[in-house]
Structure 1
Amino acid sequence: MSSPLTLQMLARSSLLKNEALAISALNMLPMELFPPLFKDAFKGKQTNILSAMVAAWPFRCLPVGALMKFHDLEILKAVLDGLDLLIQQKDRPSRSCKLEVLDFRDAHHNFWNVWAGTEDGVCSPDVIRETQPVVHHPERQGKVVVTVMMNLSLKSRHLCKCLKYFCWWAQQRKDVLQVICEKLEFGARPFYNPLELLEVFEPCCIQDLEVNAHWDLRTLAMLAPGLGQMKNLQKLRIKKIFMPLHSFWNQEMKQQCFRQIIFQFSQLNKLQHLYLNCVFFLNARLDQVLRNLHSPLETLAITRCALSESDMSYLSQCPNVHRLTHLDLSDVTFLNLSHPLLERLLERLTATLQILKLKGCMLMDFQIDVILPALSQCCQLVKVNFMKNFLSLTSLKKLLQHTANLTQLTLEMYPAPDEVYDDIGDVLPDRFNQCCSELLETLRAVRQPKEVYFVSKKCLDCRGFCVYYQKNAQLTPPQHFSTYACVFVLSHLTDPDSLKDVQVLKS
C-alpha cells in the first residue's frame, strides 16, 4: 500500500497544474520548496516551469545531472533557456543564494533525495554544502560568468544531438559562460575534430582524460595541442593507438606526429597517473615521454606495449618514477630484455610500491630469481599479479618464501606451475590440486595470507581456466583451504584478473 500524500505534495501538485500561477509564484516561494518542486516539474517535463525555476534558483548550484540523462534534448533546452533568462537579468532575484553553477555531472543524488523526503522543509547544511563545488568565476567584459560543469564519455563516432546543441549554445555565450569538464573520455575514433570540441571547455580544468578505442596516430596528433593546454591534468589514459594504413603516410609525417604528441607531455605539470595500453609508438621512445614530465608519478601502467632495452634501462633510473605506488607492466615481454633492469626498478620502489602487476610478461625462473631480493623488500605491497608467466613449482615456492615481509598483501595472483600441464598443455586436475596445495602450504609457513589465487593458462577448447584459491584464511577452517575449481570465462571476458565477475563451479 502506498504512503498517503503529504500536504506539501498536494500543494506542489496543485501549483504545477497552473503553469502561469506556478511561474509567477516563484519569487515568493520558500527556498525549501524549490528542490522538490523542481523534481516534480522535471518528472512531468513541464519545460516552461523548469526554465523559470532555473532562472530563479535560490541556491548557488543546481545539480541537475543527478536527475537527467544528457541525451534528453527537450529537457536540456529547457534548462539552458532558464540559464539564458538568468544571464539576461539585470537585477537578479534578492535571495541569499543565487545560481552560479549548473552541474550536469551524475552526482549529488543526496541533495534531491533529502529535500524531496523532508516533510518540514528543513535540510541539513551539509547536504547544501556538498553540492557547492569550488569554482573560480572570472569576469569577462565586466559581466559575471556562469559556470556549467559536466563529465563526458564519448563512445560514439558522432556527437549526439544534445552535445551538438550544447556546444553551439555555449559558443554563442563565451563572454558570460565557462564550461568545466573535469573528466573527458573519447571512445571510438571520431568523425569530428576533437580539438574543436575542446574549444568549448576550459582545458586547464580537465583533470582526467581517456582516449580509449583504436585511434590512429594522426587523430591523436590532432588532439595533441589541446592536450598541452590541460595544465591541471592528473590522470591520462591512452589505449590502442595504431598506425594509419594510408599509403601516402611517409616516415617524415609519422615523425612529425610523434613529435607533436610527445612534446605535449612537457606541458602536463600535475600529471600523477599515466596509463599507456597498446600504444605502438612507445617502443624506443619511452625516455622522450617520461623525461618531459615535471613531477613524480604515482601510477605508471605500460601494458601490451613493446619496450626496447633502452626503454627499460631508462625506466629503471628515471627520476619521475621513484615514488610509484602502482606499477603495471602486464603483457610487456621480458624475454629479450636484460632481467636485472626490472630488479633495479623494484629496488627504487621498496618504500612506496603498493600494487605490482607483471601479468603475461613471459617471465621465467631465472628472471624471477633475480628480482626476489628487491621484491621481498617492497613491504607496502597490497596487491601483486604474476599470472600468465612460465614458472616452475620450485621457482614459485622460492617466490612465496620471499614474501615473509609482505604482510600488507590482501590480494595475490600467481600462475599455476608448469608441472600441472600434460604434453599438449592441458591441465591435469589431480596434479593441479597437489601442486597448488603445496604452494599454499609453503605460503602459510611464512605468513598468514588473505586472498590468494593460482591460475592456469586458458584452455584452448573450453576457453576456461582452472583456479585454486583461498579467501579470508583467518576465518576459514584449515580443511577448507584447498579448493579446486574450474572458472569458465564469459565470451566477452578475456582477463582473469576479474575473478569475481565470472562464475566459479566447484568440483
Structure 2
Amino acid sequence: MIYGKKGRQRVLLKVTCLKGLIPLNISTAPVCVKVKMSSPLTLQMLARSSLLKNEALAISALNTLPMELFPPLFKDAFKGKQTNILRAMVAAWPFTCLPVGALMKFHDLKILEAVLDGLDLLIQQKDRPKSWKLEVLDFRDAHHNFWNVWAGTEDGVCSPDVISETQPVVHHPERKGKEVVTVMMNLSLKSMHLCKYLKYFHWWAKQRKDVLQVICEKLEFGALPDYNPLELLEIFEPSCIQELEVNARWDLRTLSIFAPCLGQMKNLQKLLFKEIFMPLNCFWNQEMKQQCFRQIIFQFSQLNKLQHLYLNRVFLLNARLDQVLRNLHSPLQTLAITRCALSESDMSYLSQCPSIHHLTRLDLSGVYLLNVSHPILGRLLERLSATLQTLKLKDCMLMDFQMGVILPALSQCCQLVEVNFMKNFLSLTSLKKLLQHTANLTQLTLEMYPAPDEVYDDIGDVLPDRFAQCCSELMETLRGIRQPKEVYFVSKKCLDCQGFCVYELEASLCSCWE
C-alpha cells in the first residue's frame, strides 16, 4: 500500500502487484508522499514492463495472472512484437473474444503467425483450464473501446461490469456436435495479387477446417484477381457474408466463375458491382456469352435477404433487368443503377416490379431516359411516394417535355430528404415548375439542380452574370414556397476553370467546384 495526502485527508491507494510475482522494491513502511490519483496506473505499467522483460516468468505467470491485466499486458507485448508471449497469451486468453484486429495498423506476418500459433495451442488442448475462454479471434478493425478502457485511456475501472460492457459481442453460426473456434475478419482486396499475409492465413485455415470456422461479413474486391477467387473463399462460411463489393473492372467470364459462390451468400444484404465489361473472347462467342449471363442472373434468386443493390456500368442489364429483379424475393431498400443502358422494357418493368415498392433510395444517375416514355417515370415515382427518401436522377438527359408527368408524382414523395437533378437539360420555366412542386417536401435537407439552359451562350459556355441572375430568381421562387436548407444550382463544366459554376443557398455570387 502507498499512503498519500490530499489536503487534510489521507487517501489510501491500492496497487495491483500481480499476486506477488513482480518485485516492485516498494518499502512496506507507511510513507507520506504526494501522488496523483493516476499513480496506480503508472505503477501498473511499470509492473507490466518488469514482467515482459522476463519472458519465461511472464508465460509461467499467465495461469495466475488477474484477468484485468491481460488486455494491457497483451497490448504491450503486441507493441513490442514479443511473439512468444503473444502466442501463450492467445491460448490463455480469459475472455470469449480477442479483438486483435484493432491493434493491427499494419499487416505483420510474424505477429499473425504468433497469434495463429496461440490459437493452435488452444485447439490442441483436450482438457483446457477453466480460465481459458477464447471462442472468437476477431481480426476486424473494430472494438477499439475494449483496449482503451483496459489500457486506462478512457474512464473506467477493471470490474466485472466493465468486462461485460467492453467485451465485443459476436454472433456466429455453430456447427452441431463440434467444438470450434471462430475467426472473424473483413477483407478488402485492393491488389490483383494475394499478399503474403493472406496467403499464410489461407494455408493455415485450410488445414483446420474441421475445428475452425472463418467468418467474413464484409468482402470487397478492389482489383481484377489473378487468382481464382473461389479457392480463396473456400475457407470462409459463405452464408455469413453480408456485404459484397466488386469495386473494380471485372470481365464477364471472371464474374460467371465467381457466381456460384455468390449464390451461397444466403444472408447477403448489400451487393455492389462496378464496371463489368465484355471480354473479346465472349463478345464473338454468343453461346459462351449467354451461358455467362444465365450463370450470373440465376444466382440472384438465392439472395433472399438482399436489401441494397448497386449496379454501376454493368452492361449485361440492358433488356435483362426484369430477369435480375424478378429473381429477388425480398423488397429492396436501395436500388442504384448508374451509368447503365436500360431499354424502355427495362424501365417499364421497373415501374411495376414487386421488389421495389418499399425503396427508400433510388439512384438512376447516368441512365439516359430521353427515349423512355415519360409516363413510365411518373408511374415509378407514384409507386415509391410513401417510402422514397433519396432520389438521384443526375445526368439522365431529362428535358422539359418529360417533366410534366414527373412533377405531380414527385410532389407526393413527402418523405424525400435528398434530391439530385444535376446535368439535365431544363429551362428556367421548367425549373421554376419543379421547385413549385416541392411545396409538400418539407423534409428536404439537400437539393441539387442543374443551372437553367438560359445561362449558356451559343457554344455552351456559362454567362456568369446571366447565371447569377437566373439562379437568384430560382432561389427567390423557392423561398416563396418553403424554407430551404441546403440548395445548389450547378452548371455544366466551365472551360475557364475546368470546374462547375455553383450557386449556393446563402451565396450572392457563384463559385466553382472542381
Aligned equivalents of 2:232 and 2:157: distance in 1?
45
Asked whether the equivalents of residues 147 and 178 of structure 1 are also in contact (C-alpha less than 8 Å), the reply is yes
1:463 to 489, 498, 509: 498
Deviation at 1:132, TM superposition (A): 2.0
SS at match of 1:277: strand
Counterparts in 2 of 1:228 and 1:411: CA distance versus 1, 3 Å: same
Counterparts in 2 of 1:247 and 1:186: CA distance versus 1, 3 Å: closer
Q: How many residues align?
A: 475
Asked whether the equivalents of residues 338 and 363 of structure 2 are also in contact (C-alpha less than 8 Å), the reply is yes
Matched, 1:487 2:512: yes
Asked whether the equivalents of residues 97 and 167 of structure 2 are also in contact (C-alpha less than 8 Å), the reply is no
Deviation at 1:488, TM superposition (A): 4.0
Aligned to 2:147: 112
Aligned equivalents of 2:335 and 2:156: distance in 1?
50
Which is higher, the Rg of structure 1 or of structure 2?
2
Segments of 5+ residues of structure 1 without an aligned counterpart are 471-480, 490-507
Matched, 1:121 2:158: yes
Asked whether the equivalents of residues 149 and 166 of structure 2 are also in contact (C-alpha less than 8 Å), the reply is no
* Identical-pair percentage: 82
Aligned to 1:274: 309
SS at match of 1:276: strand
Asked whether the equivalents of residues 90 and 118 of structure 2 are also in contact (C-alpha less than 8 Å), the reply is yes
Aligned equivalents of 2:320 and 2:423: distance in 1?
27
1:36-435 correspondence runs (5 A): 36-69=72-105, 71-95=107-131, 98-117=133-152, 121-122=158-159, 124-125=161-162, 128=165, 131-139=168-176, 143-246=178-281, 249-435=284-470
Aligned to 1:494: none
Asked whether the equivalents of residues 6 and 119 of structure 1 are also in contact (C-alpha less than 8 Å), the reply is no
Asked whether the equivalents of residues 376 and 404 of structure 1 are also in contact (C-alpha less than 8 Å), the reply is yes
SS at match of 1:246: helix
Deviation at 1:127, TM superposition (A): 5.8
Deviations along 1:42-87, one digit per CA (max 9) or x if unpaired, are 0000001001000000000000000014621111111101000000
Asked whether the equivalents of residues 71 and 160 of structure 1 are also in contact (C-alpha less than 8 Å), the reply is no
Aligned equivalents of 2:332 and 2:68: distance in 1?
46
TM-score, L = length of structure 2: 0.90
> What's the Cα RMSD here?
1.7
Equivalent residue letter for 2:97: C
Equivalent residue letter for 2:425: F
Matched, 1:437 2:462: no
Aligned equivalents of 1:88 and 1:484: distance in 2?
72
Matched, 1:6 2:31: no
Aligned equivalents of 1:73 and 1:338: distance in 2?
58
TM-score, L = length of structure 1: 0.91
1:21-40 correspondence runs (5 A): 21-40=57-76
Aligned equivalents of 1:41 and 1:364: distance in 2?
65
Aligned to 1:503: none
Q: Which moved more, 1:234-243 or 1:84-93?
A: 84-93
Asked whether the equivalents of residues 437 and 482 of structure 1 are also in contact (C-alpha less than 8 Å), the reply is no
Equivalent residue letter for 2:179: V
Equivalent residue letter for 1:100: E
Deviations along 1:99-144, one digit per CA (max 9) or x if unpaired, are 00000000000000011017853374376455121223324xx541
Deviation at 1:156, TM superposition (A): 0.3
